[in-house]
Amino acid sequence: GQQLNQSPQSMFIQEGEDVSMNCTSSSIFNTWLWYKQDPGEGPVLLIALYKAGELTSNGRLTAQFGITRKDSFLNISASIPSDVGIYFCAGQTVSGNTPLVFGKGTRLSVIA
């Protein structure tokens, strides 16, 4: 099946630093989504991207849909302790009622 390669697997950063993570695929995706999951909770949608080249922000978060449609990145600026969690990229290869494919996640730790 489809696979998303998400990196890095984990990150330890100082509070206030910027963070960048990305996902790549060998296949073209029509949609890229970024989720955050806190312990004991389900994933929460952060940003959704629908067009190649699209750059979308949500507060301190910015995500981009790669021009090749095979990659996406998520940036977090000026990290704070509550940014701690696991971030997942997800994508949909075709439009319509097909399930999302998830990356393996990036575990973010913020040191105050």
Q: Does residue 45 belong to the site contacting other proteins (CB under 8 A)?
A: yes
Q: Does residue 103 belong to the site contacting other proteins (CB under 8 A)?
A: yes
Specify the residue, 42 or 59, whose C-beta has the smaller distance to other proteins.
42
DSSP collapsed to 3 states, the chain = CCCCEEECCEEEEECCCCEEEEEECCCCCCEEEEEEECCCCCCEEEEEECCCCCEEEECCEEEEECCCCCEEEEEECCCCHHHCEEEEEEEECCCCCCCCEECCCEEEEEEC
Specify the residue, 17 or 50, whose C-beta has the smaller distance to other proteins.
50
Q: Does residue 1 belong to the site contacting other proteins (CB under 8 A)?
A: yes
- Residue of 8, 53, 81, 99 that binds other proteins (CB under 8 A): 99
Q: Does residue 28 belong to the site contacting other proteins (CB under 8 A)?
A: no
Q: Does residue 97 belong to the site contacting other proteins (CB under 8 A)?
A: yes
Q: Does residue 70 belong to the site contacting other proteins (CB under 8 A)?
A: no
Q: How far is the CB of 78 from other proteins (least distance, A)?
A: 26
CA distance 81 to 104: 22
CA distance 52 to 46: 18
Q: Does residue 72 belong to the site contacting other proteins (CB under 8 A)?
A: no
Q: Does residue 66 belong to the site contacting other proteins (CB under 8 A)?
A: no
